[in-house]
Amino acid sequence: MSKLSMEVAAHTFNKDNTFGAAFAGFAASSICLGVLSTQAYTYFKRYPLDKPFYKFLVVGLWLIEIADQALIAHAVYSYVVTNWGVITILFAPPVWSLILQITFGVITGTVVKINFALRVWRFSKQNIPVTGLIILLTFAELAVACLYTVKAFQLDSLANIADMKVVGTLSLGLGMATDVVIAAALCFFLRNLRTGHRKDDSVVNSLIIYAISTGGLTSVISLTTLVLYNFMPDNFIFMAFYFVLSKVYANSFLAALNTRRVSRGRGTDAETTTMPTFLMVGKVTQRTIHLDPENQAQSSSHLSPTMKSDSKGGLTSGATYAEAW
């Protein structure tokens, strides 16, 4: 960069929307990580005998987010502490940790979205086109994000990050589209679970609200990041929003797991009330209980005394049950 350009940049440089924005994003991300850690602790305390697959996912997501936060901390420290107020750092190649953080963030999003795709698969009675579209969009986002990471390592100046708008916009757009498709699919297929029975329908309505709120929150953050990146690429405000995005995904997954009932140390969606659960994936029918074969033996001794066999040998009650995930 020429001396004249450096002088012009020095006059327009704003610490608040660059270094300050990065620090604010780091602080918000730290809070989200704290919430995630609390949820992980709650999960292992409530479900000590849960399926190993779920335990692996929880530990894996938590470790990925720990690594992601460490990368964010290193990048923010480099810009905010080591090079505080040094404008020339913006014209040097990006700090390696700032670039690598992008990949860790999208990996978390991919894991969570695949699990939500499984919910769509079960709610939709194995609808291949819809589930396939979600999986395709999810891995497309992962591929584009990895491409963005590779190109970012080739930048000779952080100030040139706007040169990768096309790839960055495509990645964020795919992520937002995936969230919308997941939320829309869940809402559409959940409508088929309505029976006309007020208590059962209240459960379904709660699940629809959860799907909309979860997909809506992540979509808003993605859209905000996308807009800021395209219209304000010369500051770090868009980075602040991206720092928290992956932790919102991870928290949504942990929140879903932690809403399940506990049956002898394992997670189950067996309900003795009409309170909603976010992990219902089976067909809910009016006044019918669908038992998960894996938990049937464990749950049989805990059935409510009010549950009696009907003339067909089934169990009738105002309760509902659906297999988790």
pLDDT band, very low/low/confident/very high, at 275 (cuts 50, 70, 90): very low
**Is residue 11 over pLDDT 60?**
no
Which tens digit of pLDDT belongs to each residue from 136-148?
Answer: 999 999 999 999 9
- Model pLDDT, residue 200: 61
* Predicted confidence (pLDDT) at residue 313 exceeds the cutoff of 70: no
316: part of which helix (H) or strand (E)? strand 315-316
Q: Is 265 left (phi over 0), alpha (psi -120 to 50) or beta?
A: left
**Cβ contacts of residue 246 below 8 Å, gap of 6+?**
65, 68, 104, 105, 106, 108, 109
Main-chain phi, psi angles of 278, to 5 degrees: -85, 0
Rounded Cα distance, 305 and 319, in Å:
12
C-alpha distances out from residue 178 to 25, 94, 136, Å:
24, 29, 9
Task: Indicate whether 295 pLDDT > 50.
Answer: no
Helix (H, G, I), strand (E, B) or coil at 26: helix
Instruction: Say if residue 263's pLDDT is above 50.
Output: no
pLDDT digits (tens, 9 = 90+) for 163-194: 899 999 999 999 999 999 998 888 888 777 66
Show the 3-state SS of 167-189: HHHHHHHHHHHHHHHHHHHHHHH
Which pLDDT does position 94 carry in this prediction? 92
In tens, the pLDDT along 197-253 reads 666 666 666 667 767 777 778 888 989 999 999 898 888 899 999 999 999 999 988
Q: Do the Cβ atoms of 176 and 183 come closer than 8 Å?
A: no
pLDDT for 65-112, tens place per residue?
999 999 999 999 999 888 887 788 888 899 999 999 999 999 999 999
Whole-number pLDDT of residue 132: 94
pLDDT at 49: 86
Dihedral (CA of 175, 181, 184, 187) sign: negative
Q: Would you state the pLDDT for residue 317?
A: 35
- pLDDT tens by residue, 193-213: 666 666 666 666 666 776 777
Mean per-residue pLDDT over the chain, rounded = 78
